[in-house]
Amino acid sequence: MDKGHENYLEKYIEMLTLFFSFVKNGNIKIRIMFRSNDDIPSNHLTRNEDEKYFKLYYQFIKNAFGFRYLNCGTEPVYIRIYVDQLPDNKEKCSKFKQFLTDMPKTSDFSNSSIRIRDGDVAEVNSHDHVLLQCLDVVLGAMFFKLNHLNKAIPVGQKKRGKRTVAKEKLYKHINMQINSIFPHFNIGENTGSWGESYPNYYWKHPYRHWKFKPN
């Protein structure tokens, strides 16, 4: 909520209510990945920081949607992947997109019907797409709550700023929308099975929250 904080709150709430109506009826599926600051990778001292963003993005796409569990027999399922504009040079971005294109060829996807054709992984600017903007708001609200930014008090002040209060109200509205899908939703843990058998819930659930734990 970067434009005028509390003055835009009602507009954001109205927009997110409409957005979640599409989520609830199955036209949009949301997958949120987060990592607790307490979960430190065992090989963090040798990890290539330049590649960490791409590795996390790859793991998210590979696992969060359940693509490797989707089996339609002999009928292939072709998907397109639109990633937000990648924060690196053209060579590294092209290499990453090729990794995604080749993902269905790996052993983990040996029983999957998913296929990705050359050219079907593309970068987009989320500011140009209303649905991606809504997703950015949901993701930002989760980051805001998980990092306890709702408790932040400006230096020299005794209470929270108006923008922080407005952001918390927006988070609570988003949380209420998710709870209407999954009662007692826990923002700090993986979404459970909620009546679906393994691994169907990866693919079928309208909303899933994934806590990534690095090795």
Read out DSSP for 39-52?
---TTTTT--HHHH
Domain boundaries, position 59: 5-211
Q: What is the pLDDT of residue 82?
A: 93
CA distances from 118 to 61, 89, 125 (A): 17, 20, 20
Number of compact structural domains in the chain: 1
Whether the full predicted model's pTM is greater than 0.75, yes or no, is yes
Q: What is the pLDDT of residue 195?
A: 86
Which of 178, 124, 139 shows the shortest CA–CA distance to 60? 139
The pLDDT averaged over each successive group of 10 residues in the chain (215 residues) is 67 96 95 73 52 88 90 90 89 94 95 95 91 94 92 92 93 97 91 88 90 72
* Separation of alpha carbons 197 and 112, rounded Å: 17
Q: What is the pLDDT of residue 171?
A: 96
Q: What is the pLDDT of residue 42?
A: 53
